[in-house]
Structure 1
Amino acid sequence: MPAHESPELVDLFTAYTAGPDSIGAHLRASAARTRAGDPLLVVTGADMALYPGDGGPPTVLPYRLSNRGFKELAAVSHLGTALASLIELRHREPDGTWRRDADRLLHHVRRARAANSTALWRDRIAAISYRGREADIAAMIDYACAITERYLVRALADPSLLDHRTLRETYLDDGHHELPVSFNRIMVATFFLVGLDTSHRLITWLDDQGIDWTRTMVVVVGRIGRPTAGVTWRTNGVAGMVLAASRGELPLDRLYIAPHAAGFATPVDGDLREVRAVEGQLRQLWAGTRVTVELGAAMFEGYPAFCPGDADLGRDGQTVTRAADVVSEQPLIRAVDDWLTLITRLRLVMEDPRQLLSGAVTDYAAQQLIAHANDPRAVTVPGLDNEPYPAHGTAHAAA
């Protein structure tokens, strides 16, 4: 049987928050109009677009497609994980199917080692940020392939070597007498080289734009990396690059990450029609988020404020005891009548764009259910239970 909805109460809900004619929609549109002249920097998983404001044409950098050497370096970075995965397959699939994967990996390692050279990195991949290091990169990749080939050959001959401890002690970790360089160090080097190249190109491009970071609206949209990655300031690598490129001039609270928002496809042959078409909705996304943050500060003045970042104050589990405190994560609710914390959480979910607006006390409700054998009747509902509400129908009508 479908859940019943009261039309009258649903209409009250939509009057503020749903539909193009709601109060919330009007406020977001108004906020976007007041910021129409501000620069807007939009980052997707593949591109970066700068909208200068006031209808000026956007400029686009396809930073992923122009990445030189990414797949080649990532191929080497993944060798350690590939070997660890073979170990797992051997233990999980005792029928020996791991051997086909091991043989195929060995084949490709040998082909990659034969194709690798200083000339490949200097003359064909030719990443500007790798200039002067091409011989060193080629030597590192040759070494990585060589030690991986040796491990695979030995493991195929003696499958008992396909063991996580053996992999750590003879391949991954420092201290093995046969290896001058552990593979863990190679993983760090390859990841760093990719970050070095991407950051160099982004910083160069952003410097060329002459951006006023104090006025710029920055939003990272869509998926970047694996599905669970990059949804916070500290875990989104591209956001970190933009913050670094601003040389500290971009306030953290002007950078929003919207993993569920749609951006635009990489322009083909300089066609920017799609990039232009989404500017309005992306401006409204940023401005609408910002105006909710500002509402939180206005509505809950006198309660601890949200402080973006990884500040010591406001870490998860902290208790707040005074209005002068700041929080960067949900503070710990000490009791059902801990109103300073309960209302501080209302302010936090509005000011912190990472939070779900309805999630101010959801975790506390779940904790209380666990503490009371999952019996909702045994839980005290703050703000409802034991409050002196007049009986239904006897409350004073609004003037």
Structure 2
Amino acid sequence: MHYKPNSDFMRLFELFTAAPDSIGHTLQRQLGAARADTPLLVATGTDLVLFPGGGRPPATVNFRISTRGFFEMTAISHLGIAIPYLARLRELGDPGWETAARDLVAQCRTVGEFNDVSYWRDEVAVAAWRGREEKIADLVDYTCSTTADYLERAIASPELLDFERLRATLLEGEGPDAVPVPFNDMMAATFALSALDGIHRTLKWLSEQDIAWPELMVIIAGRAGRFSAGLTWETNSLCPLLHEASGRELDPAKLIIAPFAPAVEIEELADREACARAEQLYRKIWYSSLSSVEMSRVMWPDYPAFRRTIDRAPVVDDDTQVINAMPVVRSVDDKRAIVSRLRYVMEDPAAQLATAGSQFMLDQLSANGNRPDLVEIPGFTHTTYPAGTTVRR
């Protein structure tokens, strides 16, 4: 027999929660109207939009992907895992691994031909990298030439793709056949350089806004990297960034992560009516998510309250075998923690890949007045990349 709820029960259900004019929806609208002047920050995987409230126009900034140098630095970073991925394809019997390897070799050679200091200084021109362009050019030159050389030799001698040998010679830089700079160091450096730029610009932009941080409402909307990533405070790179930017005045309880909320269409915000609709939508999302918080506090004030805690990151030492959260990096030379973070973001589907290099950069920028020139970069500051064909001009 097909089941269908009784219509009178359905009407009773709708009176509180489902109908547009329900008790719950009405309260949410009233709470939203009472706080229409409260600032609201909407963050996506690429943009920040600050709705200051009171009908004032929003301010926006892009902090990832479409920014200068992101694709270049990420392309180099990917070479650290491209060779192991090809090794695994070969191990699985994929007949296309060698063709893919040759394509990668050719593109590495092409990039190496035009990579020079002027490209990074004058075309990419990332403010946070100013003064480091020559070393970045060396890093790129070294990584491209080493990748091409290693793969050319591996095509002729596939035993180079055995994982024990690959780990020792390429990733760790150990043994008589080791590369001069381990690719673990290169990946740490490229992750950190990307993070340095994004965090520096975001902190600068936030400091220029007139934000009442204790009252600020925050929505992190939509997808953040992988479909499964960035769904908690600990795994979303924006949460600690906003907390530090606020001088730790941001109330964690007023930040919600809404993976199914629509992303902001920045171009539409130029239209006043579209902008008003977008702001109304996000304020509705915020209050529909958190209106129950206010009610719980007046209904059950004598019972234990919920408080979001920001857990301290675990410390990795020589004996640590398992971690269940992103470990803290204690210094630029804390290589075990740095590489553990690389493994963590690849192994935990909930983690954002970008977080591998972000926290140490954020800590240093926060401690040094957001001055990139005072920041030490893992795998870079105290590492010399052999100069090859890089042009000095």
TM-score normalised according to structure 2 size: 0.74
Aligned residues: 311
- Aligned pairs for 1:252-271 within 5 A: 252-267=252-267, 270-271=270-271
SS of the residue aligned with 1:168?
helix
Residues of 1 paired with 2:61 and 2:165: CA distance? 45
Contact 1:70 1:194 in 2 (8 A): yes
Shift of 1:41: 0.9
Contact 1:87 1:164 in 2 (8 A): yes
Question: 1:242 and 1:273, CA in 2 relative to 1: closer, same or farther beyond 3 A?
Answer: farther
SS of the residue aligned with 2:223?
coil
Give per-residue Cα distances to partners, 1:110-148, cap 9 Å, x unaligned. Answer: 111222111110010001111000011111111111221
Identity of aligned residues (%): 40
Give per-residue Cα distances to partners, 1:357-383, cap 9 Å, x unaligned. Answer: xxxxxxxxxxxxxxxxxxxxxxxxxxx
**Correspondence for 2:127:** 128
Contact 1:46 1:62 in 2 (8 A): yes
**Correspondence for 1:110:** 109
What letter corresponds to residue 295 of structure 1 in structure 2? M
Residues of 2 paired with 1:273 and 1:109: CA distance? 48
Residues of 1 paired with 2:29 and 2:308: CA distance? 25
**Correspondence for 1:31:** 31
Contact 1:31 1:288 in 2 (8 A): no
SS of the residue aligned with 1:49?
strand
What letter corresponds to residue 250 of structure 2 in structure 1? L
Residues of 2 paired with 1:113 and 1:153: CA distance? 15
**Correspondence for 1:383:** none
* Pair 1:222 & 2:222 matched: yes
Shift of 1:201: 1.1
Contact 1:116 1:142 in 2 (8 A): yes
Give per-residue Cα distances to partners, 1:13-65, cap 9 Å, x unaligned. Answer: 22222131111111111111111011111112222111111111111223336
Give per-residue Cα distances to partners, 1:61-99, cap 9 Å, x unaligned. Answer: 2333651100001001111221121122112235x2211
* Pair 1:12 & 2:21 matched: no
Shift of 1:272: 5.9
Residues of 1 paired with 2:131 and 2:271: CA distance? 36
- Runs (5+) with no aligned partner, structure 2: 313-393
Residues of 1 paired with 2:192 and 2:15: CA distance? 50
Question: 1:165 and 1:16, CA in 2 relative to 1: closer, same or farther beyond 3 A?
Answer: farther
Contact 2:214 2:249 in 1 (8 A): yes
Contact 2:80 2:186 in 1 (8 A): no
Shift of 1:198: 0.8
Give per-residue Cα distances to partners, 1:167-188, cap 9 Å, x unaligned. Answer: 2111112434533321111111
- Aligned pairs for 1:201-280 within 5 A: 201-267=201-267, 270-271=270-271, 273-280=273-280
- Aligned pairs for 1:66-105 within 5 A: 67-94=67-94, 96-105=95-104
Contact 2:216 2:254 in 1 (8 A): yes
**Correspondence for 1:326:** none
Contact 1:147 1:171 in 2 (8 A): no
Residues of 2 paired with 1:18 and 1:44: CA distance? 28
Aligned-CA RMSD value = 2.1
Residues of 2 paired with 1:121 and 1:66: CA distance? 16
**Correspondence for 1:307:** 307
Shift of 1:9: 2.2
* Pair 1:192 & 2:189 matched: no
Contact 1:221 1:258 in 2 (8 A): yes
What letter corresponds to residue 197 of structure 1 in structure 2? D
Contact 2:268 2:274 in 1 (8 A): no
**Correspondence for 1:331:** none
What letter corresponds to residue 42 of structure 1 in structure 2? V
What letter corresponds to residue 172 of structure 1 in structure 2? L
What letter corresponds to residue 255 of structure 2 in structure 1? L
Give per-residue Cα distances to partners, 1:299-357, cap 9 Å, x unaligned. Answer: 44444332213448xxxxxxxxxxxxxxxxxxxxxxxxxxxxxxxxxxxxxxxxxxxxx
Contact 2:65 2:71 in 1 (8 A): no
